[in-house]
Structure formats: C-alpha cells, structure tokens
Structure 1
Amino acid sequence: MTKLLIADRDHNERTGIGWLVNSYGIPFDHVLMAGTMLDVFQIIESDMPDVICIELDMIPREAWDDFKERIRQYKQTIIVTTTEATFERAMQGIELHAYDLWIKPHSPDSIRRVLARCCKAVSHIHQGIEINGEDVSLSALSYHSIFLPHRSTADDCWLLLLQLEETEQQPKLLSFLQDYPFYNEPVLLPLSDMIVSIFTREPQHSLVSLKKMGNRLLQDWEEKFTEPLSLVIYDTNDTSLSLRQKYQYARQALDIRFFKGYRQVSVIEDKVEWQIIDPFLTPGEQREWIDMLGDADREQLKQWMYKEFLNKEEPYPETGLLRTRLTSILAQVRRFMKSHYLDQGRLEEHYHQVFETILYNPILYRIVQEFLLFLYEVLDTAKKHQEHSRTDIIEQALRYIEENYNNPHLRLEDAAAYVDRSPAYFSSLLTKRRGQSFRQLVTAVRIKEAQRLLLDTKLSIQDVAEKTGFINANYFSKIFKEKTGSTPRIFRNRKKL
C-alpha cells in the first residue's frame, strides 16, 4: 500500500497536486494532506507515507533537524518544492537527500512524471524487487551527483547546461524543459544561475548529433521567448570522470559565452584549457595609450580595442585575466582624466559604471562597446574643458585690462605675462575670440570710462585724459572723436541740453 503526503501552506497547491495525482491515475493508494509542520510530523508518525512532497519554505529553522531525523528514520522518498530557484534551496534539497526539486509554478507533466516514478519505485520496494541493479531511491541522478565527491551509477551520462541572461526567468525555462519532447527524458536540476540537465548516454549519440539537438532546442526556445539563452553540452568517452567532475568542466565551459555571446551552443568533450596572458600593459603599450589619448584619436583607439579583445579564437584567454587587462587600460584613462581635472561629476560616475561593467558583465563585446563610449565621452569633455580654459584666459586678460587701463604704458606683453602665455599666442587668441586687437580693446575700455567721467563728474578734460590712461589731452581728444564722432567737450555739453 503506497502513500503520498502533500505538504504545503497553500491549500490550492495541495489540492492541485492531489487532483493531478487522481487525474493522471498515478497508483498511490492514499493521498494525505498537511498544511502545517505539526500536521506533517503527526502524519509521518501515524501513517508513515512512502513519498513526501513538501514545501521547503514551510519548514521553520527550529524544526529542520527534527524533520531530517524523521526522514532518515522512516526512509521516505522526498520531493521538495519552493518558489526560490537559489543555490541555498538546492543545498537544502541535497541535505534532505531529495529525489527532485520543483520550482513553483509547477509543471503538470513534471509532477506526473516524477510521482509516477516514485510510486513505481516504492511499489518495487514493497515487493522486494531491485530495478536493474540500480538504487531504487533514484538518488543517482540528483544534486548529490554534481556537488558531492563520490561516484554513482549516473556517471555514464552527458550534461546539458542552460543559462539565461536574466536568471529570474529560470522558472519559465524550467517549465519549458519539463514539457520539451526530449528523446530521452533528462533529470533537471535547477540552480541559482543555471539549469543542469543530465541525460543517459546512448550509443547512437555523437557530438554532432548532440549539437543538432542543442541547436534545435535553442531555436524552439527563441520561437516562444525573447530571453537570451546559452547552452553548453558536455560529453566525453573518459570513463574515469565522475558526474561531479563532468559538471565542473561543463560549468567552466559556460565562460565561453564571454566571447561568443548568448544564443550559442558550445559542445565540448574535455576540460576547457584557457590561454594564460599577461594582463598588464607593457611600458610600450602605456606610452601608446598616452599618445592616443593625448591626440584624441578615436579611430585608433577603437581599432586598438577591437584588435586586442574582439574576434578571439580558441584557445580563449582566461576571462579573469582579460578583465584585469581591461582594468589596466582603464587605469590609463583614469590618469588622463586626473591630468585634465575630469575626475568628478557625471564623468566620475560613468567611470565607476564602466569599472563595474568590466568586472561583472558576462559578454566581452558589450564591455568593449561600453568602454569605447566612455572613452569618447572623456575625449569630448576634455576638449570642452580645453576650450573653456582658453575662454578663461581671455576673461582673465579682460579683467587685467579693466584694472590697469589707466596706465598709459600698458602693453600687450604685460597682459600676456599675466595669463602666462606668449605675446604672439595671446594676441592671436584674443583676436580670434574677441574680434579685436589688444590695443583696440584697451582703447574701448578707456573711452567707455572717459564717457562716464565726462557725464558724471566735473573733472577737466586734462584730468579725464590722465585718469583713463591717455598721454595728454590733445591725444585723448583726437582718439575720443575717432571713436564717438564728437569731441569730449561737445559730448559733455549734450548732458546740459
């Protein structure tokens, strides 16, 4: 007599699974329900169910050890359910020696398949039958096999690892795989960042046929969903490898997506050998970067980055070393920023964003593109600062003129020295920016001040000339008439009219 206990805090979840058991005709003799841990303990003691399907989230921390002990004592087959597709939940399942881990929302086909197997295994145990010499607990194909260092009857298998760019979409991927028409139904082990699929190795399977299967699965996924997916197929003839070692090699191979991007299928039959590179720039490369940044040569910078990081071929550089090399280049850009006083504000925030991108973005070409966009922003900002700096030079010179216009010996050389520029460069820049020569600007300032003094004071023409930097009254009157169209005396008399 086989008994199933369905334990979940949600009444609808319990009822739904019970309904599926009856609808699919899974031959459990009794289906029991529990909504609290107290109910679970009581049913385990009184009815001794053979299979327990329990929600991990309903087990309080203080009851965890007690529950484990009861499971060990009564030797039930455990199926755990959760809404969290995390490594922590997977490890809890391992700790309970769970046969399977279901991620809510449940797939009806997966429930039917798993419970039917469990019911069949329990029936054979009751009849004293061993199935093909295998462990009837079916734990051979479980989280134990990929995390714990022991060999099992599941070692002669091949693996399919599937990883979404957006890991929070994994329940959707799990449901897709549970309903997918595989030739051989795999064991699916959801982890926090991927789903591990374990298949029984068949003689007709070759790496070519497995790749075709992977491409077909990827195509079927993309016809239904938009989330980018990456696949790694691992198969080997090396019988010395445990399933755990195969999983570790396959997981390492997931880093190939760093170079290929998502929507790719990688098929491997050995441990991936990464190329070891020097992650730091040589002195020559540092000088080259200083020159490229100083020249603001965008095309040369882009070609350097493309040649260095894109279109890589096997054996690929070790991804960690490549990220370090990118940060080494970023350090050169940082020095350029500091030398141009750009290490603040929006650009400083963008710098830290690029640093985070280098460390954590899973795709190399995205890192390179983000890096280049940042470089262009740095160069644009540096150019604006340089132009602003030139404007500042003119403003400083104008202030100097306004403070010293009353000096009849004021010279271009004096103003150029004040802004720390050569007379020739300063004169050229002044004419370019203001459209006037130094002498014209000085004269304009002097005439403007002379007009004010003529209108607002009773100073003599001679005194006005002296106070505004003219050598004598005659020269002052001559220049004043040239610029205003009237003599100083006529200009003053207009006020009286």
Structure 2
Amino acid sequence: MKIFIIDRDYTEAKGFKWYLESYLLNEIEVYILNSIDQLYQQYQQVHPDILIVEIELIKHPNDIAFFKLARKDGTEIYAITSEPLFQHALKAIQMQVTHFFVKPVDLNHLKYLINSSTKENKTVVNSIGDYDLTNVFYLQLFLNNENGSFLKDNRLFFLIEPEYPKDLSALYSWLKETPIFESIEIYPLSKRIICISEFVEKSLFEKKARTLIREWNIMSGSYINIAIYDREPAQLNEIYLETKKALKQRFYKGFEHIFYVSKQLIPLPLDPLLTPEEQQLWIQGLENLDIQTIKEFLYRLSIDGTYYEQDSIRIHLTSVLAQIRRFMLKYNLHQKAVLEENYRQLFNIILEHPILYTIIQEIILFTQTLMKLAADAKLEFKANYAELAADLIEQQYKNTKLSLIEIANQLGITSNYLSSIFSKHHGVAFKRYLQQIRIQHAQKTLLETNFPISEIAQLNGFEDPNYFAKLFKAYTGQSPNRYRKMLREKRE
C-alpha cells in the first residue's frame, strides 16, 4: 500500500509516517510531499492507494478536479486542516474525501479508517447516490401502502435533519462518503435525509450516531439531529410520519440530539394571550428598563422538563411583541428604519424559527436595544412625554402626593413643559386628567367592595374623604353612596 502525505509541516508529516508504518496492518510505503506541484510530479511515477492532504494547499478548481479523478481511480483521500472553516469543509466535499480531520489528528481513528476501508463499502454507498427518484421507495414513502410492514428485515430507519436547510446537499454528499456506517441506504428529501441501516444493535448504533453528529459539526461548523424509529414494524409512510414528528422536539431541545419515536414529549397547554397582570408586567418592565424581569418571564417558557404546546408559545410571544410594539410607538422608535426592519424580522423569527431558545434570545436582545434607545430618547426629549405621563398616572394614581411636578421630575423634564404638551395631547389639563383617573378607579372600587367611603377615598389617592365625595358628585352627578346603591340595584 502506497500512501502520499502532502503537508506544509514536515515534522508533523514525519510523525504521521512513523505512526502509520508502526500500526497499520498492511505493509506500506509512505511518501512525504510539501506542495500540490510535488504531488502532480510524483503521481505520474507512483499511483498511491491513499492520499492524506492538508486542505489549505488546495487553492484552484483544477486541484479539486484532480482529487476527484484520483477518487474515481480508487484512491482513498483524507483531508486535514488546522482551521475548521466551512469553506474548507466544502472543498473536502467537492474533493469527495473519505474523511475530513481537524488538527490535532486523531491517529487512532485514521488507522481504523484505513484498516477497515474496502472497495465493497464504497460501491454500496456510491450506488445510492445515483438513486432514481421515481423508484417505488418514494411512492411507498408518501402513499399509504397496504402491502405489509416495511421493517420486516430488522432494518433500522432514522432521519437526519440539518440545522440549516441550505446544508442539505452538502450533508447528503458527506453522508455518502463517510465511513461511520459500513452499510447504509441514503434517500434525500427536501428538508431532511432518510437513512436505513442494516445494523440493529441500538447501543452501538447510538454510539455511531453520536460520532456522526460530532464529525458533521467538526466538518461543517453546524449541527444535525437524528430521529430513530424504535417501535413495531409498520408501513413506510407511517414510520416516516412518526419519525418526522419526533424531530419536532428540536423546538425545545435544539440540535445535537438523538430522538426516539417511543419517547415523545407531552406538551402542556398554555394560554396564548397575555393576562392583564402579564401585560402590566411587560409595561412596567419596559418602562423601568428592567431587563431581568423580562428575562425571567421569557425563561419560564423554556424550563427544562416543562414543554408547552409549540403553537401556543408562538402566539403567546406575538402577544409579548404587541407590548414591545406599543413601547416602540411611545418613544417614536418605529421611525428608525433599521429598528423597524429588525422588529419585522423578529416577528418572522417568532413565527418560523425552529428553536425556542433562539427565539427567546432574539427577543431579549431586541428588547435590550429598545431599552437603550428609549433611555437615550428621554435624555434627548424625543419621547412622547404626554403618553408617558398618562402611563405614570395610571401606575401611581393611588399616591396622594402625586402631582404635575412629581411626574415631570420622573420624566426628567420641566413641569411647565409637561403641562403644555399634556393638555395639547389629551385635550385636558394634567390635574383634571388625574382626577378623572382616580374617580374611574373609585367607581370600580365602590362596585366591587364594601369598603367605607373614607377608605375608598384613601385607596384612590384622596387624602380628604369630603373632598373626594364632592369631586365624585361633580363628575358623576351622584354621591359615592348613592352611586354604589344604584348600580347594585341594577345588578340585582
């Protein structure tokens, strides 16, 4: 067996040579080269069985074409790199390498691959690549066939789903070349890949599956999930749908997982709309720039071991987004084109992104940006202070000391300026607006409780019960006691 090592680091190449000569089962001859040009010259004189090449040396399309031809001639190709970049991984796929190593190279694994590689394995996998999509397999997959079960020969059916759909083609090409599974049938779909293995020992299969997940991450920088059908034999269509359903667990758990059809999650119901208390939490959290309260609210949706229905969570988070939108409008942040675009992107992420944790992180990051801009807006007098003042009144009307000056101080503006913009925006003076809010809440308290008038006055921001009664009658035309009695008589 003849092996070429093409590496710029001569010392490292000598280490490879010593190890391979010491531990490979076959007698070998190892040639050390330091450039692709040297490879071209040596290749004309000696036809190698194995090429081990540093992928950083591959710089031109002609180099890739050369390795593809060598592959067709029966030469095994192993690529190595010191940087696990995606562009290197794509080169490795185009070169049709048997395996792609990241330095430091696992020499035991390299030895295993070389010792166990056979022409038979390559032939089986490559023949799958030429699979005719009109074959009966795809008809059985999507049509409910009544002709018996599919897994009658103890074959193992599993699905592989990449983190990014755009990686599907690269993943398919990589799967055809990887030696992790000695015998495997591969059938590509639009978003995932079907694999059927003759291997049925699940403990060892899981070890191989985890190796597959790890190697793909090293090679591509992205992740995959694997879902395994482990129930009784059934029709192919049923097997596929059940296994596909198992992959939906990625919403809660992310990637780098092996899911079993027999271990499905049981989601809990969740009210898709925010309660009044939750709405108030968001209003106050945003106004107070309290990102910790916001985080705690969102993280409860992804507590490990608690799984809410996916659609309900998405609707729930669009309700959250409505509160965020209100906050944006209040501070005129929607006028910033970039921020408005980010808001629309966040809306699509909530509706479509496959991972809950990512959705939550995107909401938190966007909210943090809004809070910073809102704080800046206050300092620059660009906020809608009339609306802010009205919100503060709603939150603090019970405070008997609440006044125009107090609200102005909280907003960081002068009382004269607030008085002017408030009356223009609401069509009523600040003092009268505060009185109206207090009377409205007092009406509700009168109806819902049996508290004495003096206590109701105190609960709604009035120090003097007599003044409260006088003002209440001015607004409603009735005294507090008469108002309570009349409404209760109507209800009865």
How high is the TM-score relative to the length of structure 1? Answer: 0.49
Which one has a bigger Cα radius of gyration? 1
How high is the TM-score relative to the length of structure 2? Answer: 0.49
